[in-house]
Amino acid sequence: MTNQGIAVTIHTISTQAFTDQKPGTSGLRKRVPVFQQPHYLENFVQAIFDTLGDVSRDTLVIGGDGRYYNRQAIQIIIKMAVAKGFQRLLIGQSGILSTPALSTLVRKHQAIGGIALSASHNPGGPDGDFGIKFNTANGGPAPESVTDAIYANTKTLTRYQVADLPDFNLDRLQTSHAHNTQVDIIDSVADYGALMGKIFDFDAISSLLRREDFGFLFDAMHAVTGPYARTLFVDMLGAPAYSIINGVPREDFGGGHPDPNLAHAQELVTRMFDPHGPDLGAASDGDGDRNMILGREFFVTPSDSLAVLAAHATLVPAYRDGLKGIARSMPTSAAADQVARELGIPLFETPTGWKYFGNLLDADKVTLCGEESFGSGSNHIREKDGLWAVLFWLNILAVKQQSVHTIMTEHWRRYGRNFYTRHDYEEVDAANAGALMSALTQQLPELAGKKFGAFTVDFADEFSYLDPVDQSVARNQGLRILFTDGSRIVLRLSGTGTAGATLRVYIENYVRDPQRHGEDTQKALTALIGLAENVARIRHYTGRERPSVIT
């Protein structure tokens, strides 16, 4: 399609505001049928565009994780972007862009931002979830000041504009012109792959992956990372093609749940916990920003993974000069704190949500960031990055020539072990979940100094965060009960689901004694798990005898 010099009709469509378009920590997420309502997606896109002003010299990046309704949504956004008057649109081939790749493109091409179409790790399909998120010019999720402005626009919107254009062929690499806009359908992987090659020692990783005595297995979960994994691990690094499983993106993720954890990546977990299984296993989620790392018969918690990456960062070319600092979300275990302390670098504790790392990264205060919810990343982009984490582990293994199990046990011997677990109660009645949090909040002032068996409460509070860069304050970010021995219980309601509420309970105990490091995590935390249940009355409020997912 080439329409250079041909006038395109711009239609102004009357609409009414929707009342449920407030973005959460990861954009706007709803069930697919909600987005399919007339004007629903268009209203939200127009609300984004209305925050941007004149874009006649700006580039916008567009892509998604390939889930159901991805292609249709992209066609709508292209036509609205042409109507808005963007100078250039960059769109991933077949509508595919992992969230890390979108951030890469925004930064490389100095775009005004990007629109990511994804509901991350949530299920897809005609009755599944869909989402839309705006990333700003630094490549990261829009801060609250921007999402608040978008939300304000959704409440007063009376019209949106769309260009009268036929659909674009998203599957063919091409450059087209419509009205005043250049529309480029680009290779989804190329720029991201080139960036990974600048960060890691590809020669060392390639030598490792080509060894007959080293087994590697990556589960793309029928999500966005399939094409990226094939290009990186197979084509560029020489891993056998059978190293990639579930590598073809599907609109319903093959009927699975694209959440890389022990409960949902069953095929990978089964093969990795075979005594003769591969040496390194990994998985990523729907949009490619999360990761799970496994050794043979060994699960690496995301909190421990962040700590190991930080401790071994100088083995990777891009971080050879050391780290400026480390940032972790508040619910993430304090394993990285031990490393930061020994390295003599700052450790920042932020609320959950990758956007809170953006200011720290832009101000060059930190190099590595991580969340317990299977996300880690660095200053190379402004999103968490699943494949980056896998490459980081491969780089460490290639240099140290040790197993994942050995690396972890040596790490614990040096820094101590933070026994840590997360219990998720999914799709809980929202009113009951709110009542639980409210009742516990009222208890917090009375808990300091109380003894519960072997544990004495040091203090308990509702976590608030003062951003050291812009001095903004984020309140109501979760409830914390901290004990004098360093143990913690944290409770918060997640904002990533689309039905009911998800209660997350985080439990942690720091153990220095190497003789205890081999204990089973759930058994080691039995007393604290029971304490959390009793103090928060979890069964009473949720009606659940056990969590939906334990990680």
Q: Which positions are catalytic?
A: 120
Contact call for residues 307 and 301 (beta carbons, < 8 A): no
Q: Which of 500, 416, 546, 523 is nearest to 122 (CA)?
A: 500
Contact call for residues 351 and 492 (beta carbons, < 8 A): no
Q: Encode burial over 168-190: b for 16+ CB neighbours within 10 A, e otherwise.
A: bebeeeeebbbbebebebbebbe
Nearest-angstrom CA–CA distance, 395 and 293: 13
Q: Which of 333, 342, 345 is nearest to 482 (CA)?
A: 333
- CA distances, 94 to each of 59, 65, 91 (Å): 19, 10, 8
- CA distances, 304 to each of 85, 195, 375 (Å): 46, 25, 12
Contact call for residues 258 and 221 (beta carbons, < 8 A): yes
**Chain-centre distance for alpha carbon 315:** 25
Tokens coding 432 = 């009951």
- Return the bridge partners of 14, or none: 159
Strand 10-14 relative to strand 129-135: parallel, antiparallel, unpaired?
A: unpaired
Q: Which amino acid is at 27?
A: G
Q: Which amino acid is at 512?
A: R
